[in-house]
Amino acid sequence: MEFDLTWLLWALPLAFALGWLGSRFDLKQWRIESRHAPRAYFRGLNHLLNERQDEAIDAFIEAVQHDPDTSELHFALGNLFRRRGDYDRAVRVHEHLLARADLSAKDRQRAQHGLAQDFLKAGLLDRAETALLRLENTPFEVEARIERLAIYERTRDWEKATEVSRQLEHAEHAEHGSFQLRLAHYRCELAQQWRQAQRTTEALAQLESVVHDTPRSARAWIALADLRHSLSNTAGAWQALKNLCDQVPSHTPLVAHNLALWARLLDKTEATRQLLLNWCRQHPPSLDVTQALASLEAEPAQARKRYIEHLQREPSLVAASLWLAPVDIGAAEDGGLVKQAIERACEPLKRYRCAACGFEARQYFWHCPGCQGWDSYPPQRVEEI
C-alpha cells in the first residue's frame, strides 16, 4: 500500500493550529494567574498598612499559593506570623525557606536570622542560640551576637556574655558603640558569683583586673571596695572609693556614706571632708554627700549647718526633714505627728528612677529590672533629678 502524501499535507497545518491554540490557552491562564497574584500581594500590603494583620496574612497566603517560589512573600509572611505571636507558623515558614535548594546564600542567611528571631520571641532560648551561632561570619554576625548577649543575660551565663562582649568590643563596628562598660558589668557579675561560691581570691583578682582595664566603671570600684572591706582591708576599701571619686566623680553620691564611715575608722576624717567639699564645689547639691559631710562633724550644730548650706543652694524637702530630725518642735504627740508626716512625704523623693523606663526603686540598680537596660539609673535621688 502506497503512502498518501495528501494526509501529511493536511496533518502539518492541523498540528500547527492545535499547538497555537494550546499555547494561547496556557498564555491566557498564565496571565490570569499572574494578575491574580499581584492583586493578592497588594491587597495584603494594604491590610498591613492599615494594621489589619489577620487579613494581611490571609492575602499573603493566597499570593504564596499562586507563586510558591517567591521568597520575598515567604519572608513577609514569616514576619507577620512572628509579630502576631504565631511562632509555630513563623518557624515553619522559615524552615521551609531553608529547605529550598534554589535559595541564594543571602536569602538563606536572612531565613536563618528570621528563624532565630522566631525562637527568641517564643522563649526557646537554647534553639535561638543554636540558630544565632550559625550566623557567624555572615552579614548578620553583629546582630546575632547582640541577640546572644540578651540570651546570656536572661540565663545569667556571664562567662559566655563576657566572651561575646569582648568579640563585639574588638570588632570594627563603630555604629554599635563601645561594649567596654557592659563587659565590665559582666565581669563584676562573674566576680559576684565567685564570691558567693567562696572563691574569694578569684573574685578579688577579677575586680582588680576590671578596674585596671576599665577605670571608668563605677560598679567595679564599688564592688572592689566592698570585697576588700569584707576581708578586713578597710584602708584598701577606702582607697578604692577615693579612686572612684577621681575616675567617675558623677557616682560619688553612691559611695559618700561608706567613704565617711570608713574615714572615721581610719582617722581620715579631714581628708575625706576636703574631698567631699571639693566635689560639692564642682557639682550640683547631693543629699547623700550632704549627709556624709554631716556625719563627719563632731558637733550636732555643725552637722545641722550642712543641711542649711544644702537648702541655700537648692530647696529640698528631704534636707529639711534631716535638719528637723533632732529638733523638738512642740509637744511630744503633735511633734511626732508632724515629723511622721514629713518623713512619709519624703520617702518617694529618696528613690532612684530609671532614665529609660521610669522604674523607681529604693536601691540603686546597675541593671534596670524594668527595661533590662545597663547604667540607666542616674546616681541621684528622684528629688534631685
| Residue entry with cell 528571631 | 117
As a residue count, the chain comes to 385
Whether residues 240 and 227 fall in one domain: no
Report, as an integer, the average pLDDT of 212-229. 95
Whether residues 246 and 342 fall in one domain: yes
Domain contains 47: no
DSSP class per residue in 60-124: HHHHHHH-TT-HHHHHHHHHHHHHHT-HHHHHHHHHHHHH-TT--HHHHHHHHHHHHHHHHHHT-
Residue 320 to residue 285: CA distance in whole angstroms: 14
Domain contains 258: yes
259 or 334: which carries more pLDDT confidence? 259
Residue 207 clears pLDDT 90, i.e. is over it = yes
pLDDT at 49: 47
Domain contains 301: yes
Whether residues 343 and 361 fall in one domain: no
Report, as an integer, the average pLDDT of 255-281. 93
Domain contains 174: no
Strand bridging mode 360-361 / 352-353: antiparallel
Whether residues 163 and 195 fall in one domain: no
* pLDDT digits 0-9 by tens, 74-108: 777 778 778 878 888 888 878 877 877 777 888 88
Tell me the pLDDT of the chain averaged across its residues: 80
For residue 197, what are the domain limits?
A: 184-210+219-232
Domain contains 137: yes
Q: What is the CATH number of the domain that holds 250?
A: 1.25.40
Residue environment code for 27-43, b if the CB has 16+ CB neighbours within 10 A, otherwise e: eeeeeeeeeebeebbeb
Whether residues 228 and 139 fall in one domain: no
Report, as an integer, the average pLDDT of 100-127. 87
What does the block give as the cell for 210?
576590671
Whether residues 276 and 360 fall in one domain: no
Residue 353, SS3 per DSSP: strand
Whether residues 356 and 337 fall in one domain: no
Whether residues 196 and 289 fall in one domain: no
Residue 31 to residue 161: CA distance in whole angstroms: 54
Whether residues 328 and 247 fall in one domain: yes
Nearest to 357, CA basis, from 374, 375, 376: 376
Whether residues 336 and 373 fall in one domain: no
Domain contains 10: no
CB count within 10 Å of CB 122 equals: 17
* pLDDT digits 0-9 by tens, 337-371: 766 777 777 777 888 899 989 898 988 999 998 88
Domain contains 53: no
Here the contacts of 312-321 (C-beta below 8 Å, separation 24 or greater) are 313/285, 314/284, 314/285, 314/384, 316/285, 316/287, 316/383, 316/384, 317/342, 317/345, 317/346, 317/349, 317/383, 318/287, 318/346, 318/349, 318/350, 318/381, 318/383, 319/287, 319/290, 321/346
Q: What is the pTM of this model?
A: 0.76
Whether residues 147 and 115 fall in one domain: yes
Residue 374, SS3 per DSSP: strand
Whether residues 270 and 311 fall in one domain: yes
Please count the structural domains in the chain.
Answer: 4
Domain contains 262: yes
Q: What is the CATH number of the domain that holds 108?
A: 1.25.40.10
Residue 266 to residue 182: CA distance in whole angstroms: 34
Report phi then psi at 353, rounded to 5: -125, 130
pLDDT at 94: 82
